[in-house]
């Protein structure tokens, strides 16, 4: 191992990339991370141990600086939503082409890419085809590419695992379409990370496609049965001959936190069996022992039970509004502002802890039924809904999903700003501040911002204002009481 080897990791706000970074640091590698919105990396425990570069793979001119003096570049980027499936396919191809060309210009030694399993001779879904085409485009750059191909990644917070988890826990009798009986070879997240890191020390893996999977070849139905068994549940599965990807994605949309826009490309890919056909992984990585699906579930549940979930599928922006650049609150011009202030006999830290613990399983301090109803209404029109919860019951970091909000800004002990990701005719934020007054008191400032879009946006805001006014006034009173009770 080269002690001074320099690695670039892309996709660090995503599920795999966010977990790869600390593992590379443990190995002693120098790590640079690429993100198109570096503010979203605030709160990561490894942030002070890496070099951060702001760049966008869809903007080729931003990439040379990110790839300069890099030995190994991890490409962990792919799109999952857009106006059409062809849109995310084309975006994936353009991003890979930009990245490969920039890597070649900067003389990067190797690209390590995580793609998707699937027999290329089958009629693959557009999602799976784009994953494999991305590998081909990266190879066209002339850089040595190690392409790993995996099916479902199982770990606390992974999209596929959460889909199985919620379906199994919430639906005791399931109507199962044909895709539930396709063969799949799920792999534990820890095995994926082992392969990605071990490849650095294995020159033979250059210019290779390596299929990786766990020790279990099963079906989605088996996955749900095994999950139920591990968690002491009894479930009945009833097969049906036909259930289209569209209907299936809406079923997932309502039963899990995963919106239909993300579920559909996943489900379309499940018409194909995705299992390992080659023995290369076993030959090249004899030191890695693939885990069974049951063991992967047990490890994931252990993390969830101890609130030790490092990254989740909804960390990435594609879990909310596709690859749309987030709107960040920078000015108050054109905004409708609703602000409330209370002076509380409590410390700023206690007040901050109170409002930064909102949402998730704890819920909201008043009118919890109304928040849930708003989430249901959002799901009805294809929005993210209320089921995303939160990664940790008390800790927050920039970029975290929190029910139908996204954490936009945190100043520990002082400020929390949430950006709304439910469907609204405009842009909305909810902000909390804890301002120290003296040794005994803190000023709690609660502000709702709304930037209406057109006449309908204004009608929406003022039409709901009486209801919002009631909720927000009761909420600040409840937060004040909680903070004072926590202080005593």
Q: Over pLDDT 90: what percentage of the chain? A: 34
What is the C-alpha separation between 429 and 328, in angstroms, rounded?
10
What is the mean predicted confidence (pLDDT) over 99-126? 88
State the chain's maximal CA–CA distance in angstroms.
71
> By mean pLDDT, which of 38-52, 143-157, 251-265 is the weakest?
251-265
Q: Which two tokens stand for residue 466?
A: 């009486």
Q: Which two tokens stand for residue 329?
A: 């609150």
- Going from the C-alpha of 166 to that of each of 152, 161, 252, 301, the distances in angstroms are 16, 9, 9, 13
Mean pLDDT of the chain: 83
Per-residue confidence (pLDDT) for residue 10, from 0 to 100: 94
In this predicted structure, the answer to whether residue 386 has a pLDDT above a threshold of 80 is no
What is the mean predicted confidence (pLDDT) over 352-380? 86
In this predicted structure, the answer to whether residue 4 has a pLDDT above a threshold of 90 is no
Residues 6+ apart with CB under 8 A from 98: 57, 58, 59, 60, 63
Domain architecture of the chain: domains with CATH: 6-315 (3.40.50.720), 327-487 (3.30.530.20)
What is the mean predicted confidence (pLDDT) over 19-24? 94
What is the mean predicted confidence (pLDDT) over 400-428? 88
pTM (predicted TM-score): 0.69
DSSP 363: B
In this predicted structure, the answer to whether residue 126 has a pLDDT above a threshold of 90 is no
> By mean pLDDT, which of 56-65, 78-87, 371-380, 436-445 is the weakest?
78-87
What is the C-alpha separation between 418 and 430, in angstroms, rounded?
5
Comparing 150 with 333, which gets the higher pLDDT?
150
Comparing 398 with 3, which gets the higher pLDDT?
398
Confidence of residue 487 (pLDDT cuts 50, 70, 90): low
In this predicted structure, the answer to whether residue 151 has a pLDDT above a threshold of 70 is yes
Query: Is the CA virtual torsion 180, 181, 183, 188 positive or negative?
Result: positive
Comparing 423 with 194, which gets the higher pLDDT?
194
Per-residue confidence (pLDDT) for residue 15, from 0 to 100: 84
Residue of 345, 385, 342 lying closest to 474 (CA atoms): 342
State the DSSP H helix or E strand holding residue 72, giving kind and residue range, or none if neither.
Answer: strand 72-75
- In the block, residue with structure tokens 């977990």: 19
What is the mean predicted confidence (pLDDT) over 444-449? 88
Q: Which residues pair with 148 in a beta bridge?
A: 114, 210
- Quick one: angle between helices 159-170 and 260-269, nearest 10? 100
What is the C-alpha separation between 137 and 100, in angstroms, rounded?
7
Q: What are phi and psi of 144, to 5 degrees?
A: -65, 130
In this predicted structure, the answer to whether residue 35 has a pLDDT above a threshold of 80 is yes
In this predicted structure, the answer to whether residue 404 has a pLDDT above a threshold of 90 is no
pLDDT digits (tens, 9 = 90+) for 251-306: 666 666 666 666 666 666 667 788 999 999 999 999 999 999 999 988 888 876 66
Most confident of 374-383, 388-397, 475-484: 475-484
Per-residue confidence (pLDDT) for residue 110, from 0 to 100: 96
In this predicted structure, the answer to whether residue 85 has a pLDDT above a threshold of 60 is no
What is the C-alpha separation between 122 and 169, in angstroms, rounded?
33
Per-residue confidence (pLDDT) for residue 321, from 0 to 100: 47
């Amino acid at each position: 191992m080269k002690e001074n080897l320099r690695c670039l990791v892309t996709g660090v706000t995503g599920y795999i990339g966010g977990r790869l970074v600390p593992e590379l640091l443990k190995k002693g590698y120098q790590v640079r991370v690429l993100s198109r919105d570096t503010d979203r990396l605030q709160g990561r425990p490894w942030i002070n141990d890496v070099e951060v570069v702001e760049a966008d793979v869809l903007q080729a001119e931003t990439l040379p600086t990110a790839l300069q003096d890099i030995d190994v570049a991890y490409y962990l980027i792919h799109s999952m939503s857009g106006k059409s499936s062809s849109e995310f396919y084309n975006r994936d191809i353009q991003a890979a082409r930009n990245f490969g060309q920039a890597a070649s210009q900067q003389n990067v030694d190797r690209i390590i890419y995580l793609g998707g399993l699937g027999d290329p001779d089958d009629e693959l879904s557009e999602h799976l085809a784009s994953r494999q085409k991305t590998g081909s485009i990266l190879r066209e750059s002339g850089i040595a590419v190690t392409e790993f191909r995996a099916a479902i990644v199982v770990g606390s917070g992974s999209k596929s695992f959460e889909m199985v988890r919620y379906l199994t826990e919430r639906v005791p009798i399931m109507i199962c379409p044909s895709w539930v009986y396709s063969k799949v070879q799920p792999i534990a997240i820890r095995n994926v990370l082992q392969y990605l890191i071990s490849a650095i020390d294995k020159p033979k893996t250059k210019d290779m496609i390596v299929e990786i999977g766990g020790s279990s070849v099963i079906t989605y139905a088996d996955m749900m049965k095994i999950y139920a068994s591990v968690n002491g549940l009894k479930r009945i599965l009833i097969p049906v001959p036909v259930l289209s990807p569209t209907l299936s994605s809406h079923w997932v949309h309502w039963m899990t936190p995963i919106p239909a826009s993300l579920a559909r490309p996943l489900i379309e890919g499940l018409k194909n069996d995705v299992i390992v056909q080659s023995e290369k992984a076993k030959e090249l990585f004899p030191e890695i022992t693939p885990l069974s699906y049951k063991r992967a579930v047990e490890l994931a549940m252990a993390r969830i039970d101890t609130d030790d979930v490092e990254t989740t599928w909804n960390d990435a922006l594609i879990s909310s509004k596709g690859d749309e650049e987030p709107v960040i609150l920078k000015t108050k011009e054109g905004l409708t502002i609703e602000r409330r202030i209370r002076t509380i006999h409590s410390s700023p830290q206690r007040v901050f802890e109170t409002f930064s613990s909102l949402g998730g399983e704890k819920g909201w301090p008043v009118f919890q039924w109304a928040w849930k109803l708003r989430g249901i209404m959002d799901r009805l029109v294809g929005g993210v809904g209320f089921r995303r919860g939160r990664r940790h019951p008390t800790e927050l970091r920039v970029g975290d999903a929190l029910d139908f909000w996204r954490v936009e800004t945190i100043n520990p002990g002082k400020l929390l700003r949430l950006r709304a990701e439910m469907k609204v005719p405009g842009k909305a934020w909810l902000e909390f501040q804890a301002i120290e007054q003296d040794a005994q008191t803190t000023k709690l400032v609660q502000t709702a911002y709304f930037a209406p879009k057109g006449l309908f946006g204004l009608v929406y805001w003022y039409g709901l204002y009486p209801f919002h006014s009631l909720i927000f006034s009761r909420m600040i009173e409840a937060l004040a009481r909680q903070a004072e009770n926590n202080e005593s």
